[in-house]
Structure 1
Amino acid sequence: MIINPNARSVMHCLTVFGLVSLQFLILVEAISIPPPTGPYHVGKTRRAIHHYYDHDPLAPNNISTAFLATIFYPTDQKPKAPPQPYLWNGIAEYYENRWNYTKGFLQSLTSIVQYDAPFLEGSVGQSPFPTIIFGPGGGGPPVDGNTILLSELASHGYTIIGVDHPWDQPYIQFPNGTAVVGTAWDTWLTLAQVTPVYEARVIDNTVLLETLPQLVEDLNAPINTSLIGSLGFSLGGAAAIGTMYDEKIVSGLNMDGSFWGRTAANNSSSDVKKPVLLFGHELHLGGDPSWASFPLWQTGSFRYLLVNGTTELDFFDNTFWRLLEPNSQLGGTVDPYRMINITNAYVKAFF
């Protein structure tokens, strides 16, 4: 058979195009993050919490007027639709660019968490499980980047209220569609500026505690308003412990966050007098003076849990992201699935 050379070229181009297209389709095919293992399905909703604060070091003119609460909670409703993307496109694109993930990779990741699913039946303001306030890392990723852990907790009955502070995150989006784009910490935020950012986080948590009864009333939800724990990653972990001086908080867990403010005082004023767990990477005790001094002054129950082979980037959903697109600069040597299991098991056990 004689084939026209031009035809052969066309066929070759079509074949190459087909292979490239197939590879692209495989690349962007939606992949769901690890599903929660508890007896409940998981719902999620968002609310803007209005609070005027005129000492915000990150906001224009140092004035912020609201922060974002993202609520993960148990529900009896089975998912009625296929898994949906769990990250805002704005935040997915940011980390694809910042950490050299393939374009579209993070945007394609999905979750079986259901937006605005019905709450469990029960008395408003009451639940056999405590409520947990959660704070994400300083400079990101925001609350949604911690969905694997937060949805796991919710599937076992807990309600988790994550707090995102505007301009402290690369991107957040309020329920009315308003988007707030922050500035990357690694390009401009100095250590001297971290303390006021930390203080703003603690103030947000305090405002949330004050407004929680009304928020629960508005949601008409069986969310515990009297038994509350605090949890956070990195700067959010520091703020979780810093919020424990409020009598409404009964226990706190700091995931890999150095201490700031009163908690770093290295004297008796840092004593929170309540159960605390420090959960972090293996070099904290040798390289972080605040982790060495804080326990010396605690009169409540206290424990360390350090995980070999980890870095700070293994304590949120990135530990799963790098399983799909390995990058030696984005985490430690710990097996990602092992890390997910360790995190889920010990955080649940603590609370």
Structure 2
Amino acid sequence: MSTRRVWHLAIQAAIAGAISIPQPSGPYHVAVSTHTIEHYNPNDPLAPNNVSTAFLATIFYPTLQEPAGEPQPYLNPETAAFFETSWHYTTGVIASITSTLQRDAPFLGGSVGESPYPTILFGPGGGGPPVEGSTIMLAELASYGYTVIGLDHPFEQPFLRYPNGTGVYGVDIDYDDPTLIEEIYETRLVDNTVFLQYFPKLVQKLNAPINTTHIGAVGYSLGGAAALGSMYEDDRLISGVNFDGSLYAQENGTLADEKKPVMMLGSEYHHTGGGIDDTWVNFLSEQTGYVREMAINGTTHHDFCDDTFWKTVEEGSDPAAGTINGNRQVEILNTYVRAFFDLTLLGRKSPILDGPSPDWPEVVFYNISGSV
């Protein structure tokens, strides 16, 4: 019997007592679909012979169709198994977490290529978790009408499965090699550019009411750096959020001014304990537009992806996770990210972005400047 079949049977046996990720709170149900984006890249630092030919786009979008049937595991079993081992969870714990997201459900009605709701481009952390490991926040945004598109690069992520069923495992990455990390960062920028160029054609192919001109960018760790980096090059990218990611290239020099709204949302590391991240200091010193820089007390780097929820399922497993309650962190991320994009993409003001709030005492403001 294949390893994948064994995983499948074990996971199905656990579903009856499984825990689901938090339900999105918006007025829409949420669907998800995956798409292969073909692109020949002869300068891929991680691919065999440095050549890659495609990357993966995962689309989270609102739908009116109600979920049917039992909740299903929300992660690929290979992804779950990797992080169970790497982040010290018991085998099967993460794999058994479910969701009610619907695969390839109908889009909302509307004209192709048009929507009153903007689109958001998402980038995952360097080396993982992949896009599926940030499903909670991405589904939350989609439940309020946003279309969110996450991009995964093969060989960098621990595991990806393409729509045709092909699975691609990642390679070992030397995170102490700054040259390699910058090369991976540059590959992310290439992927973002290629996708944005192809995006209108994809929307036409899908016959979907997806906004192709009014786009926000958000990312975790290296994905956050790439979200901000891509904003320099494409006027369709109107605003961006960086989750706890150190910055590279133009972002870390005298030409770093985005002249666009930016939110930097980080762990305590960026301001206390581990020391101040100089790349944030350099970047923020050059900004002339709207800036919000905050840290969330009790968090570590792992609390800016779905691991913050995983740790509530098996407490004490991941020694790298922060002390903040994971369900509370989910609420904070969902609330502040949606408030930022509601403001910068839809013009809906929210007082929680103007300074400390008694409702969210964990969120500490370090930089409040500019206006939208």
- Displacement after TM superposition at 1:283 (Å): 2.2
2:15–2:98: 8 Å Cα contact kept in structure 1? no
| Residue 216 to residue 310, structure 1, CA distance change in 2 (3 Å) | same
Q: Write the distance in 2 (CA, Å) between the matches of 1:89 and 1:189.
A: 29
Q: What one-letter code is carried by the residue in structure 2 that aligns with 1:346?
A: Y
Among 310, 315, 334, the alignment partner of 2:304 is 315
Helix, strand or coil for the counterpart of 1:278? Answer: strand
Please list every run of at least 4 consecutive aligned residues from structure 1 whose deviation after the TM superposition is greater than 3 angstroms. 25-28
1:322–1:330: 8 Å Cα contact kept in structure 2? no
Q: What one-letter code is carried by the residue in structure 2 that aligns with 1:341?
A: E
1:32–1:111: 8 Å Cα contact kept in structure 2? yes
Q: Write the distance in 1 (CA, Å) between the matches of 2:194 and 2:212.
A: 14
1:244–1:252: 8 Å Cα contact kept in structure 2? yes
Q: Write the distance in 2 (CA, Å) between the matches of 1:332 and 1:160.
A: 27
Question: In the alignment, which residue of structure 1 is the partner of 2:283?
Answer: 294
The structure in which a higher percent of residues are helix is 1
Q: Write the distance in 1 (CA, Å) between the matches of 2:48 and 2:231.
A: 29
Q: Write the distance in 2 (CA, Å) between the matches of 1:74 and 1:243.
A: 25
Among 280, 293, 297, the alignment partner of 2:266 is 280
1:132–1:158: 8 Å Cα contact kept in structure 2? yes
| Residue 213 to residue 161, structure 1, CA distance change in 2 (3 Å) | same
Q: Write the distance in 2 (CA, Å) between the matches of 1:80 and 1:190.
A: 47
Deviations 1:187-238 (A, max 9, x none): 6662221001000001101111101100100111110011001010000000
Q: Percent identity?
A: 53
- Displacement after TM superposition at 1:281 (Å): 0.5
Counterparts of residues 61-140 of structure 1 (less than 5 Å): 61-140=49-128
Q: With structure 1 as the length reference, what TM-score do the two structures score?
A: 0.90
- Displacement after TM superposition at 1:270 (Å): 1.2
Counterparts of residues 1-351 of structure 1 (less than 5 Å): 29-185=17-173, 190-245=177-232, 246-265=234-253, 267=254, 269-285=255-271, 286-327=275-316, 329-351=319-341
Deviations 1:128-180 (A, max 9, x none): 11100000000000000001000000000000000000011000010011111
Q: What one-letter code is carried by the residue in structure 2 that aligns with 1:309?
A: G
Q: Write the distance in 2 (CA, Å) between the matches of 1:333 and 1:30.
A: 24
**Aligned pairs, how many?**
324
Q: What one-letter code is carried by the residue in structure 1 that aligns with 2:38?
A: H
- Displacement after TM superposition at 1:26 (Å): 7.5
| Residue 78 to residue 224, structure 1, CA distance change in 2 (3 Å) | same
Q: Write the distance in 2 (CA, Å) between the matches of 1:291 and 1:47.
A: 34
Deviations 1:324-349 (A, max 9, x none): 11126131111111111100000000
Q: Write the distance in 1 (CA, Å) between the matches of 2:14 and 2:41.
A: 47
Q: Write the distance in 2 (CA, Å) between the matches of 1:27 and 1:39.
A: 26
- Displacement after TM superposition at 1:27 (Å): 9.8
Q: Write the distance in 2 (CA, Å) between the matches of 1:255 and 1:209.
A: 21
Question: In the alignment, which residue of structure 1 is the partner of 2:367?
Answer: none
Q: Write the distance in 1 (CA, Å) between the matches of 2:71 and 2:170.
A: 28
Q: What one-letter code is carried by the residue in structure 1 that aligns with 2:324?
A: V
Q: Write the distance in 2 (CA, Å) between the matches of 1:76 and 1:282.
A: 39
Greater C-alpha radius of gyration: 1
- Displacement after TM superposition at 1:287 (Å): 2.5
Unaligned 5+ segments in structure 1 are 1-24
Q: Write the distance in 1 (CA, Å) between the matches of 2:116 and 2:288.
A: 27
Helix, strand or coil for the counterpart of 1:306? Answer: strand
Question: In the alignment, which residue of structure 2 is the partner of 1:15?
Answer: none
1:27–1:105: 8 Å Cα contact kept in structure 2? no
Q: What one-letter code is carried by the residue in structure 1 that aligns with 2:261?
A: P
Q: Write the distance in 2 (CA, Å) between the matches of 1:118 and 1:300.
A: 38
| Residue 172 to residue 78, structure 1, CA distance change in 2 (3 Å) | same
Q: Write the distance in 1 (CA, Å) between the matches of 2:277 and 2:216.
A: 25
Q: With structure 2 as the length reference, what TM-score do the two structures score?
A: 0.85
Aligned CA-pair RMSD:
1.4
Q: What one-letter code is carried by the residue in structure 1 that aligns with 2:335?
A: A
Question: In the alignment, which residue of structure 2 is the partner of 1:8?
Answer: none
Q: Write the distance in 2 (CA, Å) between the matches of 1:333 and 1:90.
A: 27
